[in-house]
Amino acid sequence: MPINTKGLVPRIWRVIKRIFIFLFFFQLFYLLLLKWVNPPITLTQLSSVFKGEGLRRDYESMKNISPYAKLAVISSEDQLFPDHDGFDFKSIEKAMKHNQKSKSLHGASTISQQVAKNVFLWQGRSWIRKALEVYFTFMIEWIWGKKRILEMYLNISEMGKGVYGIEAAAHYYFNKPAKNLNRIEAAKIAACLPNPKEFTVKPLSDHVAHRYPWILTQMNHLQDDDDIQRLMN
């Protein structure tokens, strides 16, 4: 008996359209909510749990995070963070030119892009994920603002195997709360951020040992910048 397909395609299209509408408003609600509320868990954190790496995580407000930690991550990861709108196009262009000539890939993600990826998306490389990263970067810059983006970055970034956020990292590496981190300790944690599973703070990897003095120098150069001062206080 032949199946009656009349009207089937329009019905399927209506269902797909409703799903997209629901997902759009759900992500918008979630994005607005996270301006004030910390995410219960991220896909990257779930991955750590499933891989057996554990999950050490403690969210802290900006007032309970050392100003040295804020300065260190800006100095290490995104020195133009206070000034750009989410994207550092000069660094992106420079990284693209390098990647065309070299097998070693250089990234150019800003702090805002890293937050968008780590809070809302999954790890990996694909055009779909990159397009979504651009969208969420634009949205958090517009809705959250710089202070909230920096606060989220310090709370959800992986800073060791299964260690997420500056509070958990401070306790894990130095047996102290994040608000008591000194300049050197903050610089060491910031130095591990590109690849915290490989660039370890304890034991001190060669990468961290070579990079953290450079970060300290950059912190000295940037600490009196008015825009950065406003983010640190």
What is the model's pLDDT at position 10? Answer: 77
Q: Select from 151, 160, 206, 217 the least CA-distant residue to 184.
A: 217
| Dmax (CA) of the chain | 79
What is the model's pLDDT at position 233? Answer: 81
What is the model's pLDDT at position 96? Answer: 52
Number of independent structural domains in the chain? 1
Cβ 227 vs Cβ 82: under 8 Å: yes
Radius of gyration of the chain (CA): 20
Average pLDDT per 10 consecutive residues for the chain, totaling 233 residues: 62 85 91 95 92 92 96 96 86 54 60 95 86 95 96 96 96 97 97 93 95 97 93 85
**53 part of a folded domain:** no
**112 part of a folded domain:** yes
**31 part of a folded domain:** no
| Structural domain containing residue 151 | 63-232
Cα–Cα distance, 18 to 21 (Å, whole number): 5
The pTM score is 0.87
**103 part of a folded domain:** yes
Tokens coding 56: 């050490």
CATH number at residue 219: 1.10.3810.10
Say which residue the tokens 């891989």 belong to: 51
Cβ 66 vs Cβ 178: under 8 Å: yes
Tokens coding 48: 């750590």
